[in-house]
């Protein structure tokens, strides 16, 4: 794979990052840990060496699974995790009510206070079974904590050698500007896909101008852009996707029309729609590495093939034209 440099560092990331949200179980209707381990192993064995997780994914479960899987392979992987979504204290901004993997009610808060960030990092290091994290990211902004304070915590962790680089997620341009003034920010992780392109207007130009990479998540639009989830699909209990905008009946049908219009490209190349979608995302400006989840090894191996080809300018133009015809109601 043609690895890409994490901006401002000598760390090389694989062009596809294994996104470990779903393997935490929480929010995705459960997950099979054995299959998750096989998925991560398949990723590493096939060149996807960058892994992104977060404490809140299963209330520590995703980080624990990742840590158990990469034990003994630390020098082969780049570990990315986050902080700032807490469930064991009521600080900061209330985010939402949920249930953990055992069905216990949990309140999640967004909180990025300096001491909390440092303590969260320590817990993540233990779950991941490592003494350093390659990229530690603020999961969400928090209105009760000045972002300058949060960046000071990350600077301390860099000085201590516990993290190698600092990143943010879901951060608008104004806050990103303030954060970058305190500490060089390597990346901003944001929702971005063929059907969700809102960051292209302001965020992409800003990141390109300031040498900040974008780590797009939800690039397959929670599985919708694989073409495998048809209208009327029955999801497992606890799966959040039916309540998201793109899975509403009208939008779902509109996206399916787009997929039908670009299916011929996939057919001619003998690739899947998922591979086409990931490759399209990889080729967009400012993209450092595309986050893609996989519940099992077969899904991961399918995703890996997205890095084995490059869509032509003509193919990209056909895709972009099809996207212009889409009429979403969001």
Q: What is the CATH number of the domain that holds 65?
A: 3.20.20.100
Q: Which of 215-219, 243-247, 259-263, 268-272 has the lowest average pLDDT?
A: 243-247
For residue range 148-158, list pLDDT tens digits in order: 999 999 999 99
Residue bearing the bigger pLDDT, 241 or 165? 165
The verdict on residue 325 lying in a domain is no
Q: How many independent structural domains does the chain possess? A: 1
What's the confidence (pLDDT) of residue 29?
Answer: 58
What's the confidence (pLDDT) of residue 193?
Answer: 95
Active site residue 57: yes
The verdict on residue 113 lying in a domain is yes
Q: What is the mean pLDDT of the chain?
A: 93
The verdict on residue 172 lying in a domain is yes
The verdict on residue 242 lying in a domain is no
The verdict on residue 329 lying in a domain is no
Q: How large is the average pLDDT for residues 274-281? A: 96
Domain containing residue 142: 4-221+275-309
Q: Over the chain, what HEC string results?
A: CCCEECCCCCCEECCEEEECCHHHCCCECCCCHHHHHHHHHHHHHCCCCEEECCCCCCCCHHHHHHHHHHCCCHHHCEEEEEECEECCCCCCEEEEEEECCCCCEEEEEECCCHHHHHHHHHHHHHHHCCCCECEEEECCCCCCCCHHHHHHHHHHHHHCCCECCEEEECCCHHHHHHHHHHCCCCEEEEECECCECHHHCCHHHHHHHHCCEEEEECCCCCCHHHCCCCCCCCCCCCECHHHCHHHCHHHHHHHHHHHHHHHHHHHHHCCCHHHHHHHHHHCCCCECCEEEECCCHHHHHHHHHHHCCCCCHHHHHHHHHHHHCCCCCC
Catalytic annotation, pick one of 18, 57, 192, 246 = 57
* pLDDT greater than 60 at residue 28: no
């Amino acid at each position: 794979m043609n690895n890409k440099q994490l901006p401002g560092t000598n760390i090389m990331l694989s062009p596809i990052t294994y996104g470990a949200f779903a393997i935490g179980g929480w929010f995705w209707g459960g997950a099979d840990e054995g299959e998750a381990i096989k998925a991560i192993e398949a990723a590493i064995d096939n060149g996807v060496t960058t892994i992104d997780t977060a404490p809140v994914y299963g209330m520590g479960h995703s980080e624990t699974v990742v840590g158990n899987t990469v034990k003994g392979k630390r020098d082969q992987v780049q570990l990315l995790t986050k902080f700032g979504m807490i469930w064991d204290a009521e600080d900061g901004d209330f985010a939402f009510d949920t249930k953990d993997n055992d069905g216990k009610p949990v309140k999640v808060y967004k909180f990025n206070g300096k001491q909390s960030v440092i303590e969260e990092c320590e817990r993540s290091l233990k779950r991941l079974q490592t003494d350093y994290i390659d990229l530690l990211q603020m999961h969400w902004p928090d209105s009760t904590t000045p972002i300058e304070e949060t960046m000071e915590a990350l600077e301390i962790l860099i000085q201590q050698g516990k993290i190698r680089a600092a990143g943010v997620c879901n951060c608008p341009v104004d806050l990103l500007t303030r954060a970058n003034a305190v500490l060089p920010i390597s990346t901003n992780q944001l929702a971005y896909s063929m059907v969700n392109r809102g960051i292209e207007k302001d965020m992409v130009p800003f990141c390109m101008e300031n040498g900040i990479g974008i780590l797009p998540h939800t690039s397959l639009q929670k599985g919708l852009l694989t073409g495998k989830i048809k209208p009327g699909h029955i999801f497992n209990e606890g799966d959040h996707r039916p309540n998201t905008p793109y899975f509403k009946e009208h939008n779902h049908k509109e996206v399916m029309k787009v997929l039908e219009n670009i299916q011929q490209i996939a057919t001619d190349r003998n690739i899947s729609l998922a591979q086409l979608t990931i490759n399209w995302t990889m080729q967009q400006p400012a993209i450092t590495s595309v986050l893609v989840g996989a519940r099992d090894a077969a899904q991961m191996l399918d995703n890996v093939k997205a890095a084995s080809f490059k869509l032509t300018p003509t193919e990209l133009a056909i895709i972009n034209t099809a996207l212009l015809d889409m009429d979403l109601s969001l």
